[in-house]
Structure 1
Amino acid sequence: MTVTSNEERQSSPQYRALRDTVDSMQHRVPGKLEITKEGIVHDMMSPGRPHEFTAGLVSRRLERLMPEGTWAFTGTPDVEVEPEGIRRHPDIMVIPLEDMEGEGSFDPRTLIAAIEIVSRSNPDNDWIGKMRDYPLLGIPVYAVFDPRTGSGAVMTDIHSTPDGPRYATRKDFVYGEDVTIAEWTISTEGLPRYA
């Protein structure tokens, strides 16, 4: 078995090739491209109105409660840890304003929380892939809203396992209940569902 140092992993030609491929294709293909340890994930469909409406409602409900200088951000760029070979794009990033300054991808360790609205076309990306990748990236809170089922979950408490870092605590919710993300509790009343 060959052990690769962080410095060698940072300059991994395979990861750079994947990133260059994603960057060159992103504006020419429908949907969203992300990089995981397994390779490129392509969510074929661009997010529809219920997806984007949910992201907007959750973001605004959080921002009403958060202190000045903390955002529930729904734009780009991605979060990336090159040594791990992972670049993801959360639907909502709860992040301090000062950590948004600069160029390039956000450092995922600066996020307070990552929030995903489950895609109708690729739900495993949010429920399995990102559930694996976000604790590996050091994101302390991961919340999932699933418009297919009108339910979701909030994962916290990263701990070590033989398969790598994982979330130890999962709190499930159904739409209509209040949900706590980090230190803010919002209503899920009236969130849209997929038809």
Structure 2
Amino acid sequence: MTRAPGHGRGASAMTTVSPLYRTMRDALESLGDSVPGKLEITKEGIVHDMTVPRRPHEFTAAQVSRRLERVMPDDLLAHTGEPDVEDAPGGVMRRPDVMVIPWADMEGDGSFDPRTLIAAVEIASRSNPDNDWVGKLRDYAVIGIPVYAIFDPRTGTGAVFSDIHATPDGPRYATRKDFVYGEEVTIADWTISTEGLPLYP
């Protein structure tokens, strides 16, 4: 697996943050929990997903997490939930549905460093699938997450992206492997079944 070059983190990293990103980050912090839904910072600005995740979305995330943890080493976790994954110098703050990350990197405060993730998994939104298929596909390569998997309950299909490489438009995934629900899918080094995953009604 290939990781994109890092931008650094901590106090020295914050000195390289753009004023625009700092403004957006401050705005999100000031809003706190007063705004419903999920707020993320992308290469194109703030994304506000007001949709409450449906049961098929949450069921898929939980099943993928559980199936991965059955085959992964004990020192890794398929985490669902907070905090965000943030690359402030890169101008991106996202929250994957499932994050494959070492337990040791869960410790501490603040957002996760994207370069500690082994893989990110998203369950495509019914209302805004382009956020997963376009925006996050771009952003996860830019911030150096080596493997990105999408499960799409709208169609019962998905894809796994890997092999980050440089392009004129910035880092992008070079390899895409599509799958259909019912097949086995390999995410990073682990293969799981997609049998029984739900579709959106």
TM superposition score normalised by structure 2: 0.91
Matched with 1:56 is: 62
Aligned to 2:4: none
Aligned pairs (5 A) from 1:18-37:
18-37=24-43
**Alpha-carbon distance between aligned partners in 2 of 1:149 and 1:23, rounded to the nearest angstrom:** 36
Q: Which has the higher contact order (CA 8 A, sep 6+)?
A: 2
Give, in angstroms, the shift of residue 26 of structure 1: 4.9
- For 2:103 and 2:13, locate their aligned partners in 1 and report how far apart those are by CA, in whole Å: 29
Counterpart residue number, 2:192? 186
Q: Trace 1:75-154 onto structure 2 (pairs within 5 A).
A: 75-154=81-160
- Unaligned stretches of 5+ residues in structure 1: 1-5
Does the aligned pair in 2 maintain the 1:69–1:96 contact within 8 Å? yes
Tell me by how many angstroms 1:25 deviates.
Answer: 2.7
Deviation at 1:44, TM superposition (A): 1.9
Residues of 2 paired with 1:7 and 1:142: CA distance? Answer: 25
1:154–1:171 CA contact under 8 A, matched in 2: yes
Query: What is the CA–CA distance in structure 2 between the aligned matches of 1:13 and 1:172, rounded to whole Å?
Result: 39
Deviation at 1:8, TM superposition (A): 7.8
Cα shift at 1:7: 6.0
- Counterpart of 1:3 in structure 2 is none
Which position in structure 2 is the counterpart of 1:72?
78
1:13 matches 2:19: yes
Specify the SS of the correspondent of 2:197. Answer: coil
Shift of 1:84: 1.0
Spell out, residue by residue over 1:78-116, the C-alpha distance to the aligned partner (whole angstroms, 9 max, x if none).
111111111000000000000111100000001000000
1:36 counterpart letter in structure 2: T
Question: How far is 1:10 from its partner?
Answer: 2.8
| Aligned-partner SS, 2:169 | coil
Structure-1 separation of matches of 2:199 and 2:101: 27
Shift of 1:28: 2.1
SS where residue 83 of structure 1 aligns? coil
Percent identity (aligned):
72
Unaligned runs of 5+ in 2: 1-11
Paired letter, 1:13? P
